Amino acid sequence: MKKNLLPVIIAFVAIVVIVVIVVLKPKSERPIALIMKTLTNEFFQTMEKGGREAAKELGVELTVMSASRETAIEEQADLVASAVGQKVAAILIAPADSKALVRPLLKANKANIPIINLDNPLDPDEVKAQGLEYVAYIGTDNVKGAYMSTKELIRAMGGEGKIAMLEGIRAADNAQKRRQGYLNAIAETNGKVEELTSDTANWETEEAYNKFAAMLQNYPQIEGLFCANDSMALGAIRAIEAAGKTGEILVAAFDNLKAVQEEILNGTIHCTIDQHADWMAAEGVKMAVKLMKGEEILDKEKLVDLELITKEVLLEKQKGKKK
């Protein structure tokens, strides 16, 4: 009987030792956690790369976590709990939902783990209601970016016509703001551009394919489409091809994925917005390292410089690389 208990006792002691080491380990030696929506999206792969490069340069450990898909909100909440349990030095998070992730992040507050919000802003009303404290927001002026992309779409349409939109997750702040930027660009036309329909495809390629295929059946007169991210644009152009309308509908997007760059050069997507996901993560890591050193963070908001990407811009960039 005693022999049977021995392995259990050894395992228990090992767990206790690990827990003590994690808890007592100086904050400066603990890893930084980067928690993203998913790594199936190239945007977040770029974010991970930027974070890892910055961590290597600064000599700190970065633990990368991500949910299985962008709509897996509870899964991301569990990742927050896991990071808190690991006593990480800081949490960098691109939340899947602006409201639903606020409550899980309170656990980080209670554990005195600083939070840095990346990409998708946490909802300010929910943050205030829950009493959440976070260090800063590093991301994008989503209203401006969507406005830039939609305005270019409208310009390419000759300043008039009938358009539609594929939205992101409607509970997400960045999805709401991209919708607003899109509407702002339409409003400037004083009725020359008409929105025929809008629906959410939850940032997903396959859902975008199905949703836009249905849109085209109900509204065959659509001339332009703004997709709130590149992944949905990739699904939409498949629906356009399946409907035999390639070249008849202009598509504008948001993210500047490599796959979309290829489609822009091929002429199936007109434009997108580069919001430099690698920069966001790198700045987040730099900010976390300052906190680990006991330095005060004065910049409560850092916004990326947005860039409109068109075929002309990509060709110029290619020329620059060849020089």
Helix (H/G/I), strand (E/B), else coil: 5: helix
Q: Are 150 and 82 in the same domain?
A: no
Q: Render 127-158 in DSSP notation, one character per residue.
A: HHHHT---SEEEE--HHHHHHHHHHHHHHHTT
Residue 225 in any domain: the answer is: yes
Q: Is residue 29 located within the same domain as residue 49?
A: yes
For residues 55 and 108, state if they share a domain.
yes
For residue 199, the enclosing domain spans 142-274
User: pLDDT of 39-76, one tens digit each?
Assistant: 988 899 999 999 999 999 999 999 999 999 888 999 99
Output the DSSP codes for 164-189.
EEEE--TTSHHHHHHHHHHHHHHHTT
Report phi then psi at 69, rounded to 5: -155, 165
Mean pLDDT of 174-185: 97
CATH number at residue 255: 3.40.50.2300
Regarding whether 65 and 6 lie in a shared domain, the answer is yes
Same domain for 206 and 183, yes or no, is: yes
Overall number of domains in the chain: 2
Q: Are residues 270 and 280 in the same domain?
A: no
| Co-location of 126 and 208 in the same domain | no
Q: How many CB atoms lie within 10 A of CB 13?
A: 10
Residue 265: how many CA atoms within 13 Å on its side-chain side? 12
pTM of the predicted protein model: 0.83
Taking phi over 0 as left and psi of -120 to 50 as alpha, with beta for the rest, 211 belongs to alpha
What are 88-137's pLDDT values in tens digits?
999 999 999 999 999 999 999 999 999 999 999 999 999 999 999 999 99
284 and 244 part of one domain: no
282 and 193 share one domain: no
**Mean pLDDT over residues 230-246, rounded?**
97
Are 192 and 79 contained in the same domain?
no
DSSP per position, 106-128: HHHHHTT--EEEEESPPPHHHHH
Given pLDDT bands bounded at 50, 70 and 90, which one contains residue 320?
confident
CA angle 58, 33, 75 (to 5 degrees): 160
CA separation (Å) from 45 to 48, 145, 238, 314? 5, 21, 23, 21
